[in-house]
Chain A
């Protein structure tokens, strides 16, 4: 049984790698064209744009999720009233699909209907918040929507990490008179590394898979301004019937994931072992 599943992963990967070296259009062909598809891929302006978008999106999304998630976890950890309710509120978006998230934010950010219109109705006639229809800002709206969805996850992971920190540490730092924010930044944050790296891996995988939210929010537009690799691959696989090129693109994506996740995962397991020992 396990073997079947392994076949599914290894064989499909090898198959895709093989197809990426052929000139396949709609149907796979047996010929061999070397790295031709890869050359074409990296001359394709749309692919380059989608990579650039993914990089910008990824950095912003991961940074914002970590910062917001960390702040939420730290503030919730101050023995506040209604802690349970706040936690529920911060995490519920994570239960929703990226499609639903994308659609909701598309409405809220819609200039004719959402926040911009509300502000104008209130008398701010020149108020403009039309990021979602502008080519150079549309990517940020996807960041907003997905951060809204995923930062609660980071909060939950970090909060469990915070709860695992020894009470003695707090006593010691209080006696030494170290300001609380310094303790958080210089001592607690490094101690949270296992939780942070877990969050990093999860967020990174979400970045690479980014597809549903883009389709629901902008369909890659306006123009191709919010194109991302996952969507590029889907378009070339099923819309434009260029299987060879799409396969090459997915292999590039796979290598990127391995290059980033493998070291992270290794560092994380090392940290986990050390904390157990």
Chain B
């Protein structure tokens, strides 16, 4: 049951039932070739996960033997424990848990705000069509493709002027700005697929901008909100560049701390701890992916510059 929802892909999946009726003999050289290819590919994709998992439960003595593919002889959870609360992220040695909470503090408000703004923008652009809506839209499209570097320095200066540089509100604002084009596009396309008559009827009944939005559009937006939330949680959780620049040393997200753990350790490298930390950092997006498979795929398909 769970696998089913993790797998069904994309809206068009329903047509696969038609295809399934095409009968064929099952064991032919061709089919063997197909499976050989797919299994090899699956191995290539699974190897890193396997390596991470087994290494993260090995004592260092076993890692020194130099066989990353071997199963652990004496599995231990100590590296996980270490990664969570003792590994050194630069000068401090309190593990990655601080980064975890920083990431939560950054991700939750950023996701909520960017979805809220994206929904209002998309709603305004598709139903109210303010003057210059097309211009706005074009700029948003450009915004979606701008390399972040173009905006980095001006944003640093602007946030510094507002006294928000190196703070949680600062990094949240930056995430909202960077997420706005995608979110607006997503909601605009969704609202464009709703019948215009619905909106007109609400107008005749005397609904205003906000009333129509909250009482009519928002309740109908649940599917697209789920998609938007998945996109934004993975994007923002996995972000490295913006967190590095804007979060400030007290609020570094998990990805930045992870990189610090691995690239600044002196002495012998604690590969088991490093891999446990990597897994811990990937846990949230991976869990999201495994539990929301179908929506995740729809999210990337929709986020993929539709329209």
Contact = CB atoms under 8 A, between A and B. Distances in A.
Nearest to B4: A84
A49 interface: no
B212 interface: no
Interface residues of A, number: 95
Given A113-B66, A215-B240, A9 B139 contact: yes
A96 B278 CA distance: 10
A83 interface: yes
Interface string B14-44: 0110111010100000010011011001101
Interface in A18-41: 19, 28
B150 A113 contact: no
A190 B16 CA distance: 21
Interface in B33-69: 34-35, 37-38, 41-42, 44-49, 51-52, 55, 63, 65-69
B289 A230 contact: no
Contacts of A16: 150-151, 153-154
A159 B10 CA distance: 9
B194 interface: no
A164 B46 CA distance: 29
B90 interface: no
Interface in B127-162: 136, 139-143, 145-155, 157
B241 interface: yes
B147 A253 contact: yes
B45 A121 contact: no
A247 interface: yes
Interface string A127-142: 0000000000000000
Contact of B153 (A6, A148, A230, A237): A237
B15 A164 contact: yes
A219 B304 contact: no
A104 B301 contact: no
B72 to A, nearest CB: 15
Nearest to B230: A95
Given A121-B66, A253-B147, A92 B300 contact: no
Contact of B68 (A5, A107, A152, A170): A107
Contact of A108 (B38, B68, B239, B288): B68
B172 interface: no
A250 B150 CA distance: 5
Given A104-B48, A198-B304, A76 B38 contact: yes
Given A1-B120, A95-B286, A163-B16, A85 B151 contact: no
Contacts of B241: 209, 211-212, 230, 234
Interface string A87-110: 111111111111111011101100
A262 B67 CA distance: 48
A97 B285 contact: yes
A246 B282 contact: no
Interface residues of B, number: 98
A9 B174 CA distance: 11
B67 A78 contact: no
Contacts, number: 266
A9 to B, nearest CB: 4
- The dominant DSSP class at the A interface is helix
A69 B44 CA distance: 13
Contacts of A88: 3, 6-7, 290, 293
B238 A243 contact: no
Contacts of A114: 68
Contact of A71 (B24, B37, B45, B306): B37
Given A99-B281, A254-B146, A163 B37 contact: no
- Most chain B beta carbons < 10 A, residue from A80, A100, A163, A243: A100
A208 interface: yes
B77 interface: no
Contact of A12 (B37, B154, B275, B305): B154
27 contacts: A5-B117, A8-B155, A9-B181, A12-B155, A19-B154, A71-B41, A79-B19, A79-B24, A86-B38, A88-B7, A88-B293, A92-B290, A95-B285, A97-B239, A101-B48, A103-B278, A107-B55, A107-B274, A108-B51, A117-B68, A118-B67, A156-B297, A167-B18, A201-B145, A201-B304, A257-B145, A258-B145
Interface of B: 3-4, 6-13, 15-16, 18-20, 22, 24, 31, 34-35, 37-38, 41-42, 44-49, 51-52, 55, 63, 65-69, 117, 120-121, 124-125, 136, 139-143, 145-155, 157, 177, 180-181, 184, 234, 237-241, 245, 255, 258-259, 262-263, 271, 274-275, 278, 281-282, 285-286, 288-290, 293, 296-297, 300-301, 304-307
